[in-house]
Amino acid sequence: MKKLLIIFFALTAVWLVIHPQKAFADYDEGQHEIEEQLEDMLADYDIDWSYGDISGMTFTELRDKISESTKERLAAPLRLLGILISVILFTAAVRGTSENILGSNGQIFDTICVVTAAAAITPAVFTAYSSTLEAVERLSGFMLVFVPVFAGITIAAGGAVTGGTYSMLILGASTAFAAAVRSFLMPVLSVMAALSVSGSVFPERSVEGITALLKKIVIWGVTASMTLFTGFTGLRSMLAAKTDGAGAKTIKFMISGFVPFVGGAVSDAYSTVRGSFELMGSTVGTAGCLAIAVMILPPVIELICFRAVMLVGSAAAELFSAQPLVKLLKGIDSGLAIAQCILICYSVMLIICTGIVIQSI
């Protein structure tokens, strides 16, 4: 029986030596298929990168790609800033003669100016909120496509536990976060905008405390949730990587020890193929992180520009003693801060978790 086993393994080794090209052909075919899937995935989200461009991409190229997507979004904040400055200057000019024109009804004029400013601000702000929701849903859809591909490569590279953990946690968190933004956070932003307008139109009923409370609750809640989830996912991924590493060493030991004659060669071949999948996984993971940045940074920059407009307008209104406009602009800025926090926390969570897995495979 022992002689038969030796003869069987010897014939198997000879056959592998004579016909090695099939395994390499299968690997090359699989790599080409993954490259096409990655390029198609990026093309679906208007990102014209090829597989070969990703590994050699520089910061300048990434900046140029983001700049192209951002240029069209900067027109609305600049236009809104011009409208606000015009309203503030008109308010200051007429306020000087309001005693002669309006007598004791100066508050009516303040209300008209606030309503005019609100009519100019709210369409642009709600467009920015819609862009925030669209960016979250777009990124959630991208993760539904990207995570299975990246997790599959991770599993092929020997990270079965790591890939499974990453896939389960990220898909669940991404879907839940997108649903929470759509059903809870966006209504909160709408309520804050309405409170800001009503609080500036009726100054005797101050709602600044309510808007400040909502801002703190949402920002602290989102930040704490994303921090805890990222930490938990990072710990799970590192523990899973240790388990996968021990499993890979066990497989190499078994191949080297139990396969006669060519056990060491087969073990080295296994390590080579595994290293190739690790390189492929790193490239795909890097592409995913860059794609997340390209999809998230333009709306984040747009929100930052809108917040800058609100701060400049608030400073100008305070300089000309237009206190109702100051209340309006500060209230709107609180809602924009929440939208900015949502996008930054969501994208940073995905990038950090993906980076941890890249480091682990």
Could you tell me the two tokens for 294?
A: 């390209």
- How remote is the C-alpha of 18 from its chain's centroid? 49
* Cα–Cα distance list, 194 to 1, 115, 208, 242, 265 (Å): 85, 12, 12, 52, 71
CB 73 within 8 A of CB 307: no
62-76, 81-95, 280-294: which is most confident: 280-294
In tens, the pLDDT along 77-111 reads 888 888 888 888 877 777 666 555 555 555 666 77
pTM of the model: 0.80
| Domain tally, the chain | 1
pLDDT(9) > 50: no
- pLDDT confidence of residue 323: 80
Q: What percent of the chain has pLDDT over 70?
A: 73
Between CA 227 and CA 239 the distance in angstroms is: 18
In tens, the pLDDT along 139-182 reads 988 888 888 888 888 887 777 778 888 888 888 888 888 888 88
Q: Could you tell me if residue 289 is inside a domain?
A: yes
pLDDT(268) > 60: no
Residues whose CB is less than 8 angstroms from the CB of residue 249 and which lie 6 or more positions away in sequence, other chains included: none
Q: Could you tell me if residue 261 is inside a domain?
A: yes
- pLDDT confidence of residue 303: 92
Strands (E), 251-346: none
Q: Could you tell me if residue 282 is inside a domain?
A: yes
Average pLDDT over residues 42-51: 74
Q: Could you tell me if residue 347 is inside a domain?
A: yes
Q: Could you tell me if residue 325 is inside a domain?
A: no
Between CA 135 and CA 61 the distance in angstroms is: 22
Between CA 127 and CA 133 the distance in angstroms is: 10
Q: How far apart are the first and last CA of the chain?
A: 41
- pLDDT confidence of residue 47: 76
pLDDT(7) > 70: no
- Our separate counts of H helices and E strands in the chain read 12, 0
Q: Could you tell me if residue 346 is inside a domain?
A: yes
Q: Could you tell me if residue 120 is inside a domain?
A: no
Per-residue pLDDT band at 343 (split at 50, 70, 90): very high
Q: Could you tell me if residue 45 is inside a domain?
A: no
- How remote is the C-alpha of 269 from its chain's centroid? 38
pLDDT(124) > 70: yes
Between CA 199 and CA 204 the distance in angstroms is: 8
Which residue range is the domain that position 284 belongs to? 132-308+330-360
